[in-house]
Each structure stands twice: as C-alpha cells, then as structure tokens.
Structure 1
Amino acid sequence: MKSGKYTIEEARQLDAADPLGHLREEFTIPSKGDLKRRNLKHDGDKEPGDEDPSIYLCGNSLGLQPKRTTEYIDRYLKTWGTQGVYGHFKEFDDALTPPWVDIDLAARGRMATVVGANEEEVAIMGTLTANLHFLLASFYKPTKEKYKIIIEGKAFPSDHYAVLSQLAHHSLPAEALITIDPPDPEIHYLPLDHILSTISAHASETALVLLPGVHYYSGQFLEIQKITAHAHGLGITIGWDLAHAVGNVPLALHDWDVDFATWCSYKYLNAGPGAISGLFVHGKHGEVVRSPSATESETEQFEYTPRFSGWWGSEKSTRFRMEPVFRPIPGAAGWQVSNPSVLDTTSLAASLSVFARTSIASLRERSLQLTQYLVELLDHAEDGDTAQGYRIITSRNRDERGAQISIKLDEGLLDKVMEILEKEAVVVDERRPDVVRVAPTPLYNTFEDVWNFVKIFRAACKDAIAAA
C-alpha cells in the first residue's frame, strides 16, 4: 500500500499504543505452519515464516483457545483422578473452581457481568438450540387470538427449525411464522422502523418475537432495548438469540427488560467448540412462591413460570432428598435440567477469567477502532486503484455493528479468494454464495492483523478477477 496513512508502520504504531494489547498473550494463536500442516499433501518441511502467527479473524465462528484453559482443565482432571466422587463436594487447595456441585456458579457471576444481568437471572446450562426450546416451552403461550411467532427472515437455520417445530408441537401451521425481511435483500440490512412496523402490523395475532442480537450473516447489531420496549408496548413477549452478541457488544438485559435470551459460548466467549451455553430469564419471570392453596402435607405446591423441569433446577437444600416434589430454584437456575458438564463449564470459567482482566466497555472501544480501521482499509484506494470485486454489506454506522464485517464478493469470486486466503494462513469464514465474514476480535486481534488481511484479500480479489 502507499506510504503515509494506512501503512504497516501505522498499524504497528496503533498496536504499540493499544492499552489492551497485552491480552493477546492470553491466547494460543495457530501458526502459519500449524495451518499448513492441516493439508495432508504437505511434506512437513519447515519454511521461513512458518512459526509466525496466522491471521485469525474468525472469532465469530470459533474463538481462539485461552492459555488458561490448559491449567483449568488440568486441575479438573487432577481432581477427578485423585478424588473421584469427592470432587463434587469438597474444595481442594489447588482448585480453580468450586466443588462440582457448584460448578455453574464459577461462571455465572462473570457471565452476568458480560450480559448485563443480575446474577440470579443467568444460568449456565445446555446448548443454544436446546436452551431455546426450553425457553420457548415457557414463554410461547399461543391462544386462539394470539398464536403467531415473528422472527427475522434470514434467521440462523437452527432458530428457524426450532420455531417451526414449536408451532408443529402446538398443532399450528407453518403460516403462523411471520418473518421480517429486509427492504433490500442484497445487503440484508434491517432498519429499526421496518422492524417495529412489521411487529406492529401483526401485533394483534402475535404471541412471541424472537430476534438475533447481532445478525450472523450481515453482522448488524440490532437495537435490542428499543425493539424490546416496542414489543412490550404491544403486549408481546420477546426473546433474543445472542450467539453473535455475547462477549462481542455491550448488553444490559436486565435494564432493557428483555424477557429471555440464550447464547453459545464458543464464539466470542472462547470456551471451545460445542461448549456449554447460557440463558437469561428476567427476574420478573423467575419468581417462585408457595401456592396459597398449599398445605403442610407432604405434597407442596409452588407457583412459578411453567417450564420443562429437571433435578438440577430444584432447590439444592432438598435436591438430594430424592423426593418427587419439584421445588424450583428462584431465578434462571430453576430452568436447569441436568448436571452441567464440569469439563465444559471449567473451560468457560477459564475464558471468563480473561474477560475479568478488562471490561466490556473497554473491549467495545477497541472493537470499534479495529472494525473502523478494517472498513477504511477496504475502502482505501491502493496505488490509485479503486476497490475491485467486493463491497461491504455490514452497516457503516459503527453503533449498528459488532466485531464482524461482512464482505460481499462479485459473482464467481468466492472459491478462488478463499483458496488464496487459506494458502496465506488467513482464517475467515464464508457464507455462500458470495459473502466473507471477517471478525477482528478485540481480545486478541491487532491492527497489524487487519492490515495484513486487507493486503492479502485485495490481492486475492484481483487474482480471482483475472482468473474468471
């Protein structure tokens, strides 16, 4: 690139002045040689630069491994190996987490900080789509008049499947699903007034709205607070899939009066592939009271939001009495069903301990700087040439995006561009037929990562155009 602004020297200066730059050392970054060796045809000979870190910009799909994960899991394995079942109840001197019976508590408090909730409004449990079903079982209450569900038209497929199956479970037709589709499908941007007007148009027949906090395809950060308030004003329950939002953008679920939400922990939360999920239930829905009709007989009665129940959601003080009476834990923990995976929760606790070294506000500021730098570089004319072969489809309004920038390639370029990026040890992901998703993650990515990506990406686009 041309000398002056947008040079590699400038990128390095920005990194040198970055107050959060030290957090990169908390993560294991695959080297170029590591990624080269995934190709079975590679003969294993080292080449210059093989030990250099790859350009990993794929935290929106799978976050990098925190170095602390090894220590946390090693101690968990040591406890299991030396203490067996006693690990459930006894705390050992070198433990990094509480006894396993309280393992979810090791992550719950820090998770509540990340999502902007009271601690009792968060539960560590399950997986995202399973949690979504548990929550819909409680909050989707169709009636003859109000039975429709509103989702976003290009919702993540698993959410779409879950909602359709819930409709079928209630013997309702697929036509009860209403979608909010973008005015311009080419860029898939959802203006706030368009979202609100669609909800209003169907309000009289709608029982529930389910939307993504950050859209997986476009990277758009929806205005959760305003949309939630609008739905509530129309008497509609609203929930959020925060898979691409948690650990990425500032959230204030309690203050925003969100009814329920769920998320995964393997993207920006860096807990590992398929790691344990989390959910939020607003305190107003998590109350548990003794029924006025209850007696002092053996069969107690409680009033609480109906849910699919399991023993891990039952009061700890009575859980091991093995009685057939469900006494739910007040708050989100009462939605827990089975023992949480200690291995998965330990991994999550390790990553959240890195988040505890900074704040979501600080990470957000760094993220905004990184994405703005990426957008400017992609727009920047290199050696007098205009950008060729692509356009940005993520909102140019920095308040309407998280760490992900989605780039739409011209028709027929995707395969060649991705081939070149992989060869150069650049890790991003694709959404066919023509979108590349790039996510400079503020915990571990740098301005130099961004600069190097754009240089390689633009060259790849030119090569793909020439080969077309």
Structure 2
Amino acid sequence: MDDFDASRAAARMRDAESSLNGLRERFSVPKDGVYADGNSLGLHGQDAAAALESAVAEWRELGIEGWTEAEPPWFEYGERLGARLAGILGANEDECVATNSTTVNIHALVGTFLEAADGDQVVVNELDFPTDHYAIRAQMRARGIDPAENLVVVESRDGRTIEFDDVVDAVTDDTAIVFMPSVLYRSGQLLDVPRLTELAHEHDAYAGFDLAHSVGVVPHDLHDADVDFAVWCSYKYLNAGPGAIGGLYVHEDHFDLPPALAGWWGHENETQFDMRPEFTPASGAAAWQIGTVPVFAAAPLFGTLDVTEAAGIGSLRERSVNLTDYLIRLVDERLPECDVGTPIDADRRGGHVAVEHPNAESLSRELRERGVVVDFRQPNVVRVAPSPYYVGFEDAWVIVDELRSVLDADERRTSSDEDSHVT
C-alpha cells in the first residue's frame, strides 16, 4: 500500500488540487466548524435561495397568473424538474417527475405495481429505512395481502450490509416486487441496482428502488438497467432544503399502468380543468402526480440542479469516493477504538461513512458541541457525510481530529473517575 500522509497540510494540498473548488462558495458553509450531515439535510445554498426568492416574487407580482406566466410556469414544475433530474439518473425525460414526498411516492408506486404483478410477495431487507416498510405493508393490506406472510425480509449477516446471494435466496416465482434502497441509510453500503433488477426480472417480478441516499451523489442508469420504478428526495445531496419536493421514476414500458393513487395533478393537462369525473392519466411519469405541486417546496430544486449539472454527476461521484476513502483511511490511522461499518470497496460505498463506537450517541453529541455536525444512528454509528458539494479534505481531517480529541477527553475523565474511587 502507498504511504498515506495523514497530516493537515496534506489535506490542504488535496483541496487545492480539486477540480470542484468553486462549489463550496455557493453554500452557507459554517465559518467555524464542519457540516457533515448532508445525507440528512443539505446546506442552504445561494442557488436554491435565489430560485425560491424568484418564485416568491412571482407570487407577489403575478398572483394566480403565475401558474401560466411565471418562468417557468408553476403549472409545469413537475415535468420541467423531472426532465432535468432524468439527466442525472440515466432516464428519459418523460420517465421522471418531481412530485409528492418520498413516502407518498412509495405508496403510489408500490400500490401500482402490486396491482400489476402476478405474485403477492414483496422482497425487502431488514436494514431499510423504516418508512419504506410502513408504506409497503399498508399497500399490501389495502389489497388483502397479509404482510406477515408475504413481506419477505432479507436479513443482514453482520448488521451492516446485505449480501446479494441472500437476496437471490429470497426471490421466488411468487415475488411481485423486489424493493431495495440504492444505499443503506445506516452503513452507507451501495447496492448493485442493475444486478438486483436483473434478478427480479428473472422471476417476472418488478424492481423498485429508494434512491434517497444516492440521488445527486451517485450516477445511475435507470432506463438502460430496465429498473421498473424508483423514488427519491431532494433535500439530502441535492440540497433543495427542508421539506423539498420528492421525485419518482417509472420506466416507459409501464406508462400504460393506472396509478394506484390517482389525483387531479396527474390528469392529462389538456383536459385537467374540464373537471371530468373520470381520471385520464397524463402521459409518462407525470401521471403519478397526485396533488397540486407545492411551488415553494419545488422552486429551490431548479437552483440546486444548476449546481449539480455544472459540476457533473461523474465529477461529484469521483470527489465523493475520494473524500470517503480519505475519511476511512484517517479513521483507520488515528482512531483504533473505532470501526468503519461502511464497505471499503468504493463500488459498494455510497456518499457517507459509518464510524462505529459503543458510545456513538454521546460522541455525536460532543462533536456537535464542538461545531462538527454529524448524526447518530442506532445502535453504534456516528454517521459522517463528506458531501462533495461543500466538504473538503481538510474538513474530513478536522472531523477525525475532533473525534480523536473527544475520545481522549473521555478516556481522561474515565481514568480520573477510577482514581477518585481508589481508597
């Protein structure tokens, strides 16, 4: 292995050589501290704020005319944003739409594909984000399918990752849907989306994915991989703000399926205001829109996509891999008390790193008190997200250095407490 320079000076040099240096200035980066929680909520950015302010100004100046006269017209937000999202997801423009929230989109799409499937079983994994299972169980019950018998949960062997062979064992000819995250929210494992899709199709099942922890930081090729459907949020790596609009993808082969949760915003545009009692779906993924687009929750995404497109999803992924690799090596070098729960292989790693320690909750809290914003996930994970949009190598160095200081301080306190009890 090559010599690894763990010095702060070396980290600064790596930052100076980065091709994405200009991105950081477009975000409200803390002056004193490090923000490494972008996989939960991305930072406020100039581009997002400007897009939101523009929409507010249009409301003030145009009133109801903003639906047709704003730039772009509010009426077209979902499709316009979907077309741009398609560019970073490897999809056709009409296969994506910005709409609803992630959980609502899971309800809408799982319900749709359960109706269309021959089987009754849905294959998930035990490390999924819980809301995915809540929605899936609800959609199964709504169709008279007992989740206790038909929700097949793939177990983890190590509590961190999911092995492909275990998914293979779980998928049968009774499987209706294989629904997996692209990246596990706790450990950061990146699953093989094309391979899982192929597995599902071998059993005439549909393949759906929750891309919440990969959209904006990991390239996808949804259309050519024949992924049937997917959902995501835009407030994590896409940095569109709290409560920002979600999104969904439906492969063009399934445009003829009737949406399970039909709503007037998914009606064909030409006759939407005829107020017909029967639902006529819009063409493409736009049919899975439900209620009126939340303009102020969607507008910031126009600005943040300017940033993502300017940087290029390939370049963002390259920087993300380099940052997480550097962070992992620093943890190995300086924090022997900690384990890394994230796969070392970059091809199996998303955009964040799980640093494991028995006292992870208190460590996360103490880091925040020192200005290093991370989060805690049960049972023992300090989750660190070096977002390639605004986190640098020196930031990663500071994170590990502060964690080293916290651990040392805890050890000194423990020793002092032990000494005070000696009689």
TM-score, reference length from structure 2: 0.93
Q: Find the aligned partners of 1:127 and 1:307 in 2 and give their Cα distance.
A: 16
Partners of 2:324 and 2:317 in 1: CA distance: 11
Of the candidates 276, 287, 295, which is equivalent to residue 334 of structure 1?
287
Tell me, which stretches of 5 or more residues in structure 2 are unaligned?
415-423
In the superposition, relative to structure 1, how do residues 419 and 90 fare at CA in structure 2: closer, same or farther (>3 Å)?
Answer: closer
Is the contact made by 2:96 and 2:249 (CA closer than 8 Å) also made in structure 1?
Answer: yes
Q: Which amino acid aligns with 1:445?
A: V
The alpha carbon displacement at 1:464 in A equals 2.8
Counterpart of 1:183 (choices 154, 157, 161) is 157
C-alpha separation in 1, matches of 2:228 and 2:309? 26
How many angstroms does 1:16 deviate by? 0.7
Corresponding residue for residue 422 of structure 1: 368
Residues 1:58 and 1:122: Cα distance change in structure 2 (over 3 Å): same
Q: Write the letter of the residue equivalent to 2:157.
A: P
2:137 pairs with 1:164? yes
1:171-219: CA deviation from partner (whole Å, max 9, x where unpaired): 332221111111222xx222222322332xxx13221111000000110
Q: Select which of 381, 393, 396 maps to 2:341.
A: 393
Give me the whole-angstrom Cα distance separating, in 2, the residues matched to 1:257 and 1:465.
52
Deviations 1:242-261 (A, max 9, x none): 11111121111101101100
Q: How far did 1:322 drift?
A: 2.1
**3-state SS of 1:355 partner:** helix
Aligned partner (choices 76, 91, 94) of residue 102 of structure 1: 76
What residue is the counterpart of 2:242 in the other structure?
273
Question: Helix, strand or coil: the match of 1:89?
Answer: helix
What is aligned with 2:13? 13
Query: 1:293 aligns to what?
Result: none
Structure 1 equivalent of residue 420 of structure 2: none
RMSD of equivalent CA atoms: 1.8
Equivalent residue, structure 1, for 2:187: 218
**Within the alignment, does 1:134 sit opposite 2:134 as a pair?**
no
In structure 2, how many angstroms separate the alpha carbons of the residues matched to 1:76 and 1:419? 37
Paired amino acid for 1:161: Y
Q: Is the 8 A contact 2:106 2:136 kept in 1?
A: no
Q: Secondary structure at the match of 1:227?
A: helix
Runs of 4+ in structure 1 deviating by more than 4 angstroms, as ranges, are: none
Q: Does 1:235 align with 2:181?
A: no
Counterpart Cα distance in 2 of 1:227 and 1:466: 48
The number of equivalent residue pairs is: 411
Task: Say which of 233, 242, 247 aligns to 1:264.
Answer: 233
Pairing of 1:309-458 with structure 2 (within 5 A)? 309-380=262-333, 382=334, 387-409=335-357, 411=358, 413-458=359-404
Separation in 2, partners of 1:392, 1:348: 33
- Bigger mean CA deviation after superposition, 104-113 or 19-28: 104-113
Is 1:83–2:59 an aligned residue pair? no
What is the alpha-carbon distance in structure 2 between the residues aligned to residue 129 and residue 4 of structure 1?
43
Deviation of 1:329 (Å)? 1.5
**Residue matched to 1:245:** 214
Is the helix fraction higher in 1 or 2? 2
Is this contact kept in 2: 1:416–1:464, CA < 8 A?
no
TM-superposed CA distance for 1:463, in Å, is 2.6
Instruction: Report the Cα offset of residue 389 of structure 1.
Output: 2.3
- Range with greater deviation from structure 2 (167-176 or 309-318): 167-176
The amino acid that maps onto 2:195 is K
How far apart in 2 are the matches of 1:4 and 1:87?
56
- Mark the CA change 1:245 to 1:4 in structure 2 (over 3 Å): closer, same or farther: closer
- Unpaired runs of at least 5, structure 1: 32-51, 92-96, 288-303
1:311 Cα deviation from its structure 2 partner: 1.7
**Equivalents in 2 of 1:119, 1:455: separation in Å?**
44
